Amino acid sequence: MTRSRRGPRFVLVLYTGLVALSGLLGVLFSLVVADPEPPRLLFFLALPPTPIGFAVYGAVSIGFVLGLPLAGVVYVSRRIESVDG
C-alpha cells in the first residue's frame, strides 16, 4: 500500500495555522481588554501583559495542548504496520 503525503502535510498546515491563529487572538485580546492580568505560561512562567506576551502565551499553550496528542498519534502510527481485524 502506498502512502499519500497530502494527509500529513494537511495536518501540519492545520496545526501551524491553529497555533498562528491563537497567537493572533492573544494579540487581539491584549488590545481589546483594558488592563489584563499577566498570563502565566504553563502555570509557572509569568509573561508581561503586552501584545507579545499574550501572543506567546496563546501560541505556546495551543501548540502544547494540540502538539502532545499529535506527537502521540504520529508515534503510534509509525509503530503499527497493519491492523488485523
Q: In the prediction, which pLDDT does 8 show?
A: 84
The domain locations on the chain are 12-77
Nearest CA to 19 out of 60, 54, 70 is that of 60
pTM of the predicted structure, to 2 decimals = 0.82
- The 10s digit of each residue's pLDDT in 25-45 is 999 999 999 999 999 998 899
In the chain, which stretches have pLDDT less than 70? 1-4, 81-85
Q: In the prediction, which pLDDT does 32 show?
A: 96
Q: Which helix (H) or strand (E) holds 23?
A: helix 6-32
Q: In the prediction, which pLDDT does 42 show?
A: 87
